[in-house]
A = this chain, B = another copy of it.
Amino acid sequence: MLKLYGYWRSSAAYRVRVALNHKGLDAELVSVHLVKDGGEQHQAEYAKLNPQELVPALIDIDNKEEGEEAFVLSQSLAIIEYLDEKFPENALLPQDLHEKAIVRSMAMSIACEVHPLNNLKVLQYLSKELALDDEAKSAWYHHWIDEGFSAFEKQLVKYSGRYCFGDSITLADLCLIPQVYNANRFNVDLSPYPNIVRIVDNCNRLDAFIDAAPENQADAG
């Protein structure tokens, strides 16, 4: 049995929700409210579970033996690779060594270059510590999105089919779609990125993505 600690608007949790859906895995979804009361992720109970005080975190209960602690895993990409190895059906990475490497590289170009600069804790720092106004925060947000999406668009020209890499859903799609959802919240003009727009449209027709979308979560509000 799997338990996923997440939050409806967290891009990283959104990635894992798509992975679970795509692979047809049941998981209990537990909401950790990232804003209420200074953020439930910082409360003692959750911090003990995940010392990084971030969502998502996955618990794989099956791994627990009598008297043993359950297996807890943080970091969305590590969680998805774990799920993909443990439950190989509907693989999210190609078998071929070179293809797999390219998919990982595309995923990380979002997960290591764009998302870390534009997530909640960074935007909070910009407001609270640097006292940036909305215009300066928006410029920051757009800068990193534009830089990341420009590079990603070039990769799509080379590698995309119906989805980011060829015609199967991969880890790269799981990173792109939540980042675009996030970009839309910040009114990013996506017209310079026709392949991104096309692929997001293709993915968002699939149940795995629809059911994982923030607005369709029980804790959305």
Contact = CB atoms under 8 A, between A and B. Distances in A.
A143 to B, nearest CB: 7
Given A113-B116, A116-B113, A108 B51 contact: no
Contact of A112 (B86, B112, B140): B112
Interface stretch (A98-106, A184-192, A211-219): A98-106
A139 B86 CA distance: 42
B136 A74 contact: no
How many chain copies does the complex carry? 2
Given A117-B116, A130-B132, A154 B105 contact: no
Chain A contact-residue range equals: 35 or more
Interface string A43-85: 0000000011110000000010000000101110111011001
28 contacts: A51-B150, A51-B151, A51-B154, A53-B151, A63-B98, A71-B98, A73-B102, A73-B105, A75-B108, A78-B101, A78-B102, A78-B104, A78-B105, A78-B108, A79-B105, A81-B104, A82-B98, A82-B100, A85-B100, A86-B97, A112-B112, A112-B115, A113-B116, A116-B116, A117-B122, A129-B140, A130-B132, A130-B136
